[in-house]
Structure 1
Amino acid sequence: MRPTGHDNMHGCPVHELRAKLRQSGLRPTRQRVALGWLLFGKGDRHITAERLFEEASGARVPISLATVYNTLHQFTEAGLLREIAVDGSKTYFDTNVSDHHHFLMEESNALVDIPGAGIAVAQLPDVPEGMEIARVDVIVRLRKKS
């Protein structure tokens, strides 16, 4: 069962996190629960695998960077996270899986949700036969005025 809407498990107790993993078709292993706690216990956020690995290391969670990547991709496939690729070189994972768009702060590489229905997407192209649009990601790049 995939979660729908804005369901971020903010401040979730461990038993609720385990239940959420099971509902999403994932076995609540010790590593998944530990990473899930770091991801979802702080509310909506955008995080890279490298940053989550640093947080796990700081929390003394014995885990490899490869396992962090694998877990983030498993959470994304299960509908618990949304993957956002920026420039093809940096990937963020968003705990807010609802349809929304982002600002990218160029100086800090921070990704920030665009509030409300701040963007209207129109004039989408025709898609090839047998295909459908899964979602549209808009990233608005911001920099300080000169």
Structure 2
Amino acid sequence: MARTESAGAHSSDTRNLLQSVGLRPTRQRVALASMLFGEHDQHIAAEDLHRQALDAGIPVSLATVYNTLHQFTDAGLLRILAVEGQRTYFDTNTSDHHHFFIEESNVVMDVPEGTVTVGDLPTPPEGMEIANVDVVIRLRPTRKAR
């Protein structure tokens, strides 16, 4: 019984979050938001979230997942991170921070805060401002000496 009450409270929190950013808390938005905004930050591709939703018994199309992720991004709940040509990741941590990308496994991880300094940025064109700077450090296993 406590588990049901906890799930209900979490659903209520998720609904409040969506309403606070001007999004109507539809059943699918609430379900996807509950999967995204859990206990820890994550970097997730739309295809992976779609697969997780289907595995959890949430009937949702890939197009709906993409649309919802972009709505969450426009509302400031997610940050888009394009690290690999065809694959876009959505980051639940919207603060300014940088990333490691492990090429072999397509895993994205946060770089520890304060370890990367970006300086000497160009002046943006008139009427524009810098929204953020993304540093992606690509990693691969160390090659053995021949």
Using the size of structure 2 for normalisation, the TM-score is 0.89
Of residues 90, 98, 112, the one that matches 1:93 is 90
In structure 2, relative to structure 1, the CA distance for the partners of 1:44 and 1:22 (3 Å cut) is same
Residue identity (%): 59
**How big is the shift at 1:42?**
4.4
Deviation at 1:118, TM superposition (A): 1.2
Per the alignment, residue 135 of structure 1 pairs with 132
Q: Matches of 2:72 and 2:104 in 1, distance apart?
A: 29
2:104 partner letter: E
- Structure-2 separation of matches of 1:89 and 1:63: 22
Q: In structure 1, what is the equivalent of residue 77 of structure 2?
A: 80
When Rg is computed on C-alpha atoms for both structures, the one with the higher figure is 2
> Aligned partner of 1:51: which letter?
D
Higher normalized contact order (CA 8 Å, seq sep 6+, divided by chain length): 1
Partner residue, 1:63 = 60
Return the alpha-carbon distance in structure 2 between the equivalents of residues 29 and 129 of structure 1.
40
Q: Within 1, Cα distance between the matches of 2:110 and 2:125? A: 30
User: Is 1:44 matched up with 2:41?
Assistant: yes
TM superposition shift of 1:87: 3.6
**Poorly superposed stretches of 4+, deviation over 2 Å:** none
Q: Distance in 2 between matches of 1:22 and 1:117?
A: 33
Say yes or no: does 1:117 pair with 2:120: no
1:119 counterpart letter in structure 2: V
> Which residue number in structure 1 is paired with residue 27 of structure 2?
30
Superposed CA offset, 1:67-113 (max 9, x none): 00000000000011111012442100001111110000111010000
Number of aligned residues: 135
